[in-house]
Every structure is written in structure tokens, then in C-alpha cells.
């Protein structure tokens, strides 16, 4: 196994890596981990992120070490102008460094919503309860 160095990895491999990360990140298993950490009031967001990325590196036969992780996390910056790579990973497509352009009529990406009182619902459920009125959500991240 070798250290992941971004400039030594073909674009097609990068694309496969980010697509798999997207799949894993939004899998029921990982979403349940985030939810349980929230319910138990455990700050595990960064730990879960690290585990996902460690799994991706290992899956593609790269050594998991600090250098590999730092290099892997350069993907958004390195491929910022590559629309195919960028759109393959949700957090890269809607990165905090650029405000996303959201228009009326854009398709809703359904995602679990956790209320402050720890009730669980979904974005789609909330939108269906508005009776045609605008839905405004103030949100944050637990990572």
C-alpha cells in the first residue's frame, strides 16, 4: 500500500473515490451513526468523517496515515473546476466557500432532519407540511 498523493492519482480514480464516499456518507448505516451520536449528545462528527475517509483510502489500497488524509482532503480544492468530480460529492458541490445557487423549482434532496428536541423527520416531510408556503430552515453541522 502506498501513501495517497493527489497529483499521483489519476482523475478517474479520484472520481471513483468521491462517488464511493458519497454513497457511504449517505448510507443508512452512517446516517444512523450521526443520529445516534446526536441523540446521545456525543461529539462524533469528526471521528465519523475520519472513519469514512480512512475506509475510502483503504478500499483503494492507499495507506491510511496523516499524509494520505491531508492529501485526500485536497480533492475539493484541486478539482474545484471539474464539474463531474464536483457534482459527485454533495459537500463539494455545495461547498461552504461558495454559496450555492438554489432556484425555485429545484429538486429537493431529501435528508434526515433532527430537531433541537431530538425528534427526527425528513426535509421532504417538512416541505409537504407547508401547504404551499415557503419553507425556511436554519441549520448547522454537528461535525
- Kindly state whether residue 111 falls inside one of the protein's structural domains: no
Summary mean pLDDT of the chain: 82
38-65 per-residue burial string, b: 16 or more CB within 10 A, e: under 16: beeeeebeeebbeebbbebbeebebebe
139: left (phi over 0), alpha (psi -120 to 50) or beta: beta
pLDDT above 70 coverage of the chain, percent: 85
Name the residue with higher pLDDT: 130 or 106. 130
Q: Which domain does 54 fall in, by range?
A: 2-96
Least confident window among 13-22, 38-47, 83-92: 38-47
- Kindly state whether residue 117 falls inside one of the protein's structural domains: no
- Total structural domains in the chain? 1
Name the residue with higher pLDDT: 89 or 25. 25
Q: pTM of the predicted model, to two decimals?
A: 0.64
Query: Cα(31)–Cα(43) distance, rounded to whole angstroms?
Result: 14
- Please state the length of the chain: 143
Name the residue with higher pLDDT: 54 or 137. 54
Residue 42 sits at the vertex; the CA angle it makes with 37 and 48, to the nearest 5 degrees, is 60
- Kindly state whether residue 80 falls inside one of the protein's structural domains: yes
- Kindly state whether residue 103 falls inside one of the protein's structural domains: no
Q: In this model, does residue 32 exceed pLDDT 80?
A: yes
- Kindly state whether residue 87 falls inside one of the protein's structural domains: yes
- Kindly state whether residue 16 falls inside one of the protein's structural domains: yes
Res 97: pLDDT = 43
- Kindly state whether residue 115 falls inside one of the protein's structural domains: no
- Kindly state whether residue 113 falls inside one of the protein's structural domains: no
Give tens-digit pLDDT for 97-116. 445 566 777 777 777 887 77
Amino acid at each position: 500500500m502506498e501513501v495517497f498523493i493527489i497529483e499521483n492519482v489519476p482523475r478517474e480514480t479520484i472520481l471513483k473515490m468521491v462517488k464511493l464516499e458519497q454513497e457511504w456518507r449517505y448510507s443508512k448505516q452512517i446516517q444512523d451513526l450521526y443520529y445516534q451520536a446526536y441523540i446521545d449528545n456525543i461529539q462524533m462528527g469528526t471521528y465519523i468523517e475520519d472513519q469514512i475517509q480512512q475506509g475510502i483510502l483503504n478500499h483503494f489500497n492507499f495507506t491510511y496515515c496523516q499524509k494520505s488524509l491531508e492529501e485526500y482532503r485536497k480533492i475539493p480544492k484541486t478539482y474545484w473546476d471539474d464539474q463531474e468530480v464536483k457534482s459527485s460529492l454533495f459537500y463539494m458541490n455545495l461547498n461552504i466557500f461558495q454559496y450555492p445557487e438554489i432556484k425555485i423549482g429545484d429538486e429537493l434532496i431529501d435528508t434526515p432532519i433532527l430537531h433541537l428536541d431530538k425528534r427526527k423527520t425528513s426535509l421532504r416531510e417538512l416541505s409537504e407540511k407547508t401547504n404551499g408556503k415557503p419553507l425556511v430552515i436554519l441549520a448547522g453541522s454537528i461535525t
